[in-house]
Amino acid sequence: MNKSLTRSIGFWLLLVLSLASAGVGGWLIAGQIGTMTSTLLDGTATGIEVYVGQSLVVVGAALLGAGVLGLLIAIALSAVQALMPSAAPVVVEPIDWTAESDDAGEAETVVDSATAHSATDLSDASESADEIDETGEAQNGSSGSTATATKISVK
C-alpha cells in the first residue's frame, strides 16, 4: 500500500475543506467583530448587533478552529508519509535464453506416478464430455465452461 499521498482523494478533501472552513470562520469573525466595534463606539448598537454578533463570532471561531486543526492534520500526514520508507524497486536480471542447463532437461523427463495417473483420469473425463457435446445431448455435469453455464452446445 505505497499509495502516494498526493494521489489520495481523502487527503485533498481534508486539505480543501480545512481551507474553506478556516476561510469562512475567519470571514465571520472579522465581519462581526468589525460591525460590533463600529456600532458600539458610535453608540448606535442594538441588541441584535451585539448579541447575535457574539453568537456568530463563536460559530466563526469554531469553524476557524476546525479548519486550522484540519490543516495541521494534513501537514502531519505529509510529514508521516515523508518519513515512511518507500519500497525499493526490485532489480530483475535479464534471462539468458542461449544458456542451457543439463538439470533442466532431466527435470522435464521425470514424471511423478501420482501426477501421471490423475492427468490421464482428467483427460479421459474431458474426452467423455466432448463425446456428449458432439452427439447434441445436454451436458449434465459441471465442467465450468460457458457452454454448460448457458446451456449452449459448442462444437
Per-residue pLDDT at 4: 78
Number of CB atoms found within 10 A of residue 22's CB: 19
Per-residue pLDDT at 146: 57
Q: What is the DSSP string of the chain?
A: ----GGG-HHHHHHHHHHHHHHHHHHHHHHHHHHHHHHHHHHT---HIIIIIHHHHHHHHHHHHHHHHHHHHHHHHHHHHHHHSPPPPPPP-PPP-TT---HHHHHHHH---HHHHHHHHHHHHHHHHHHHHHHHTPPP-S----HHHHHT----
Per-residue pLDDT at 25: 97
121-140: per-residue pLDDT in tens?
Answer: 555 545 454 445 455 555 55
Per-residue pLDDT at 81: 87
Highest mean pLDDT among 6-15, 18-27, 87-96, 141-150: 18-27
Average pLDDT, the chain: 77
44-67: per-residue pLDDT in tens?
Answer: 988 888 899 999 999 999 999 999
Is residue 6's pLDDT more than 80? no
